[in-house]
A = this chain, B = another copy of it.
């Protein structure tokens, strides 16, 4: 653990469209990027294969996939197979919400950052298309930054953590435009909650709708492979 300034950043990478864009942004800002994916019992495991492709394509220095049994805790349609994933969203916080997910993921990113001597974390949360997830709001990100400064050796030594959430105020179309400008190949990414083994999207779930609408609004051809 170095006490000196570091060009390293830990980037949370899900294999979806948003976090791929964030990785490209972090690289464009000159960071040496350490990509972290969590294998948390998610249904859409094709995401992890996508994360591997994206990390390689966008020049991550290292890509770690950490197994984490959130399915043992349950409570979400994304990890608990007894809860159905809805095809269209309702009001309020959806059943696809994973309890404390971003808190857990950022905490793990923070741990790796300490080991790397890094004080920069990147996360692809989005408050516009955030579907009501509480841990995608700017106030949450600010609170985590505070916590990181108190939680760590680096913080005690007077260094400041910065949790970058560059997508937080962007629409899906703006995200897609930004990423396309940075050369992100969105054909490598997976968003669908019910993607099949071949990586083909359902085209009907909330995540698919947001993504397809985003490409339409951005005026950029949608490279997603659909089943139907």
Contact = CB atoms under 8 A, between A and B. Distances in A.
A144 interface: yes
A104 B111 contact: yes
A137 B98 CA distance: 28
Interface residues of A, number: 45
Copies of this chain, whole number: 2
Interface in A14-30: none
Interface string A124-143: 00000000001101011001
Nearest to A140: B150
A75 to B, nearest CB: 4
Interface stretch (A152-160, A174-182, A202-210): A152-160
A64 interface: yes
Contact of A99 (B64, B93, B112, B137): B112
Contact of A100 (B70, B74, B110): B110
Contacts of A100: 107-108, 110-111, 114, 151-152
A1 interface: yes
